[in-house]
Amino acid sequence: MKPATNLIVIFLFLTANALAQSNLLDMFEDETPKTEYAYATFKAPRVVYGQSVEQPAKGNMMFLIQHNFGSVNSGFYDLFGLDRATMRMALEYGLNDRIMLAAGRSTWQKTYDAGLKVKLLRQSSGEVNMPVSLSYATGMALNSSRWSNPERKNFFSSRLSYYHQLLIARKFSPGVSLQLSPTVIHKNLVPTRDDQNTSYALGAGGRFKLTQRASFNAEYFFYPSSQTTMERHDALSVGFDIETGGHVFQLHFSNAGAMFERAFITESAGRWAKGDIYFGFNLYRNFVIK
């Protein structure tokens, strides 16, 4: 056999051997577990009033209209609350895959608010096994209504309040998601010395899928009454999410009239048993900015 022929045979042998080893490695690589992330734990960045672990995708902006009518027990003269209205408008922007920025304005106490939500952990299985999704939400609110007592010296800082939340959620199945929301609220100004400037609450919420585009949602915020002298009751809200293409409608009933954290967690005065129930809706519209 000629030397050239020998070289060709050796080359073909080595090439075939290398390809066989490569195919064997590919088989092992295919068996390596891949990371699968949970998605659509909730349909919108809010469960009802409270924040959820969801947020807009990078470069997406959501325009949010939150609208509440008056309490049902206001009677026929006010058409069971339909003659009255409280609303909040907000923009929520996905700065990147983990950070959301938000700003809003409420008719309740003419309040301006700004917030930030950061995705810390994402529920996953496979190569990376993470049992829950975890986000951190924080924000501040500015009460811009006129001073109730303009004769005394009033400070701008008295208008400000803040909140901090950890959002801990798990999607147990395609139809069931639950979330806990430990919360800290700080008010620079409180009514009396017996009221706590910094107080604590615990929220719990859930989503129960009804159809491919609809779900039943509920949330409850426990706020120990020992922290305030105000007459108030824990916020309990229930509703339905309906997804229609680029919109998400959230129809809900609640004993809380306001729709930003400080107000609905610490100052909701309505009672379900007395008919202090507010019907309202959240409307989300998503826009792709970049």
Q: Quote the percentage of the chain above a pLDDT of 70.
A: 89
- Architecture of the CATH domain 34-288: Beta Barrel (2.40)
d(CA 39, CA 212): 14
CA distance 164 to 200: 10
Check: CB of residue 121 under 8 Å from CB of residue 132: yes
Confidence category of residue 280, pLDDT binned at 50, 70, 90: very high
Buried b (16+ CB within 10 A) or exposed e, 19-47: eeeeeeeeeeeeeeeeeeebeebbbbbbb
70-123 pLDDT per residue, tens: 888 888 888 877 878 899 999 999 999 999 999 999 999 999 999 999 999 999
| Per-residue pLDDT reduced to its tens digit, 118-168 | 999 999 988 888 999 999 999 999 999 988 888 888 899 999 999 999 999
Alpha-carbon distance of 172 to 1, in angstroms, equals 69
pTM: 0.84
- Does the structure show a pLDDT above 90 at 206? yes
| C-alpha closest to that of 200 among 158, 156, 165, 238 | 165
| Least confident window among 6-20, 71-85, 106-120, 249-263 | 6-20
The two tokens of residue 241 are: 């999410």
Amino acid 194 reads: D
- Give start and end residues of each alpha helix (H) in the chain: 3-31, 261-266
Residue 274 gets the label, from left (phi > 0), alpha (psi -120 to 50) or beta, of: alpha
Burial (CB < 10 A; 0-12, 13-18, 19+), residue 60, is: middle
